[in-house]
Structures are given as C-alpha cells and as structure tokens.
Amino acid sequence: MPSRHLVDPQILPMVEQAPAVVLDAEHLAESRAAMVAMAETLPQPAPLAADLKMYEERIPGLDGAPDVRLIITAPKASGSGRPGILHIHGGGYIMGSADMTAQIDAAYAGEFGAVCVSVDYRLAPETPHPGPVNDCYAALKWLHENAQALGVDPDTIAVTGESAGGGLAAALVLLARDRAEVPVAFQHLIYPMLDDRTATRDDPSPYLGQFIWTQDNNHFGWRSLIGGEPGGADVSPYAAPARAEDLSGLPPTFIACGALDLFLEEDLEYARRLILAGVSTELHIYPGGPHAFNLVPDADITMALDRDSMGALKRALTKS
C-alpha cells in the first residue's frame, strides 16, 4: 500500500475498514445494496429541525423521459428571495439516490434559508448519457420555473454535487450556459468526477486512487455512463465536463478534493482552466484525504472542508 502512510490518521480507520469492492455489471445490484448498508453504519443524521420541512415531488422528465423524483428541503416559514440549491448525489454514475443528501441539504436550508432540491436521476448503465444529465436539467428548469411558488430568487440558484454528482453538476452548468434558459449563480463541486480519460491512464500515480474509488471502478463507472470505452474522441462534454473546449461564461466555482483522490489531477486541471477562462474559482486540496474522506465527520480535514464549503456558499448566496 504505497500511499497508506500518507492517509490522514483520523481517516485511516475508515480506509482500512472499507471493503475492497471491484464493480462490474454482474455484481452491480449487490454493490448498490452494499452501499446502502455501509451508509447505515455511518453516524446517522439528527432529526430534521422543527423549522424545516422535507417533501417529495415528481416532475416530468425532459423530452418525454420518465418522471424525475425530487426531495425538497426548505424552511417551513413562508418567504421570498431565498437562494435555491440543486443537489446532485454521488455514486460513480451507477449507484446512490437523492436520499443520500438529506443531512447536508438540511444544513444548507438551516444555514442559508435555502430551498434545496435533491435529484433522483436515473443511473447508468441502465440509463447511459444523456439520461442522467437530462434528469438534472429537468430538475433545474423546474426549480427555476417554480421559483416564485417556492420562495426562491430565480437569479440565486446554485448547483452542487459530490463525486459523480459533482461531475453531473459541472456538466449541467455547461448545458445551462449553452441553452441559455436557466441562469446558474454558482457551481459547488466536491471531489467532482470530471474526466473519462483518467480511467484510461496507464501511468496513474501510485499515491492516487488507492482507496474507496479505484482506477478499475472508475473505468467501470465511465464505461457505464458513456455506453462504451472511455477515452474515445467523441465523448460529450455534457457527459465528461473536462472535455469542454470553452469554459468561459460559467458561474463562480468552488472545487474541493483530497490529495489522495483519484480525481485530484483532473480537478486541479479543471480549476486551472476555469481560472484562465476568467471564471472566479476557489480551489481547496486537503492533505491526507482519499476519495470521500468527509464520511468521517469529526476528522479535522472534514471540518476544514465543511468550513470552506459553507463559507463559499454563504458568500455566493447571501446578499449583502
């Protein structure tokens, strides 16, 4: 284990206890069930605060696609001009659900008075690209079109996501820019999965991607999403945002990643390109952090990520 000595000591127990799972089509259902079971072993969120509400909506999918399930977390009190946050869950494009974001959505709603909409997008490989990003776009349009009823300022909508959810968030923001139908005020990307070409590298660093999300799993995730081998010449930037040739005109951006995450280099490069394209960009790298290190809530680097993340959202969403 060449990178074990680099893992933050407070994160190391999680890394050592996490099962070594190799994802493939034959065992995907078992892997999805194992992800749910692992989530149940983690510290459970506190009950929803008395001044917040959580409910579900089902909205029409884009262009005749199946309905999309949304989970909305918002203040109970009526109001207007609230920020809206569209939240896209992680899971390598192949696992997870909107229910995963409940705890952080409650934090966003409580801290910023925001209306948070979590998207239960269809998963690959059953639904490859463009199905997942189209589901997210349908949710973004719904949030914008229903802003007044929700008490949301339609010009203060952020898109956020973790891992594959961060990749979908970045893809969605590109799509929103190019379609020019819905303004996005901020993109908030937590260790985002941005570049299918990472899965094809034959010289990955021995210090990256050794834990939690590995090169083999990354290859399967990307192959499932794009419906073929990653690394080809015709991969859409709405599937792999790092493929976008032009990043100008995107909203201010926050990117965070652990220093041992397989996505480190693609996230660094995306941040560099955003900056060179004139996009206000905040980048944080956390030493000793493998992928999903913030599953250890009381680790110092998790608390640092929480501070940086919430601070960036506050600056983006709070009107002076």
**How large a percentage of the chain has pLDDT more than 90?**
85
pLDDT greater than 60 at residue 159: yes
Per-residue pLDDT, 7: 96
Name residues whose C-beta falls within 8 Å of residue 149's C-beta, 6 or more positions apart in sequence: none
Q: Confidence class of residue 41 from pLDDT cuts 50, 70 and 90?
A: low
pLDDT greater than 90 at residue 42: no
Query: What structural domains and CATH numbers belong to the chain?
Result: 4-317 (3.40.50.1820)
Q: What is the mean pLDDT of residues 83-109?
A: 96
Alpha carbon distance 207, 6 (integer Å): 8
Per-residue pLDDT, 175: 98
Q: Is 313 left (phi over 0), alpha (psi -120 to 50) or beta?
A: alpha
Q: Confidence class of residue 21 from pLDDT cuts 50, 70 and 90?
A: confident
Q: Confidence class of residue 33 from pLDDT cuts 50, 70 and 90?
A: confident
Judge whether 284 counts as a catalytic residue: no
Per-residue pLDDT, 38: 65
Residues 251-309: tens digit of each pLDDT: 999 999 999 999 999 999 999 999 999 999 999 999 999 999 999 999 999 999 999 99
Alpha carbon distance 250, 104 (integer Å): 24
Mean pLDDT of the chain: 94
pTM: 0.95
Judge whether 291 counts as a catalytic residue: yes
Judge whether 129 counts as a catalytic residue: no
| Of 194 and 46, more confident | 194
Q: Confidence class of residue 30 from pLDDT cuts 50, 70 and 90?
A: confident
Choice among 105, 196, 291, 309 that is catalytic? 291
Measured CA distances, 175 to 3, 52, 259 (Å): 37, 31, 29
Which residue in this structure is represented by tokens 């690959």? 124
Q: What is the mean pLDDT of residues 118-136?
A: 98
Choice among 31, 163, 224, 309 that is catalytic? 163
pLDDT greater than 80 at residue 43: no
Q: Which of 42, 3, 163 is nearest to 95 (CA)?
A: 163
Q: What is the mean pLDDT of residues 68-92?
A: 96
Burial class (CB in 10 A: 0-12, 13-18, 19+), 204: middle
Alpha carbon distance 228, 232 (integer Å): 9
Choice among 188, 261, 267, 309 that is catalytic? 261
